[in-house]
């Protein structure tokens, strides 16, 4: 009768190992999915950081361009006055009056949605 008990014990041990192997496979699969999700999130975060850097650089360059433009407008006004020309010509470039940002700043300013 001891042989029959040993057989039951062996079957129980095999069942425990099969159950453990199945649970381990499931956990490994879940871990792989989580790692892939983390890698995807890191990729998106890196892309967003790059866009933010580009937006900051574009905004910084835009400020410099605005400063140059304002300087040129001032220089133009002084030269017109020195030459006795009218202060404004009909060919002057006027701003659109639209103070809304454009380019990457506008994209990122839209609730962060791209």
Q: What is the DSSP string of 38-56?
A: HHHHHHHHHHHHHHHHHHH
Work out the burial of residue 80: count CB atoms within 10 Å of its CB; fewer than 13 is exposed, 13-18 middle, 19 or more buried.
Answer: middle
Output Rg (C-alpha) for the chain, integer angstroms: 35
- Tens of pLDDT, residue by residue over 86-105, are 877 545 555 445 555 454 44
Cβ-Cβ contacts under 8 Å for 109 (sequence gap 6 or more): 101
Check if the beta carbon of residue 56 is closer than 8 Å to that of residue 109. no
Residue 44's pLDDT is 92
Burial classification of residue 21, based on how many CB atoms lie within 10 Å of its CB (0-12 exposed, 13-18 middle, 19 or more buried): exposed
pLDDT at position 98: 52
34-93 pLDDT per residue, tens: 999 999 999 999 999 999 998 888 887 777 778 888 888 999 988 888 888 887 754 555
Identify the pLDDT of residue 105.
Answer: 46
Domain definitions of the chain by residue range: 2-87+101-108
Task: Tell me how far apart the 2 most distant CA atoms of the chain are, in Å.
Answer: 123
Taking residues 8-12, report their average pLDDT. 93
């Amino acid at each position: 009768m001891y042989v029959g008990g040993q057989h039951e014990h062996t079957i129980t041990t095999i069942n425990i190992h099969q159950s453990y192997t199945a649970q381990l496979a499931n956990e490994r699969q879940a871990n792989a999915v989580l790692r892939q999700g983390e890698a995807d999130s890191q990729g998106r975060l890196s892309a967003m950081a790059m866009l933010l850097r580009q937006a900051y650089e574009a905004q910084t360059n835009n400020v410099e361009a605005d400063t140059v433009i304002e300087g040129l407008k001032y220089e133009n006004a002084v030269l017109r006055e020195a030459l006795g020309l009218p202060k404004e010509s009909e060919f002057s470039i006027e701003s659109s009056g639209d103070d809304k940002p454009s380019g990457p700043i506008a994209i990122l300013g839209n609730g962060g949605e791209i």
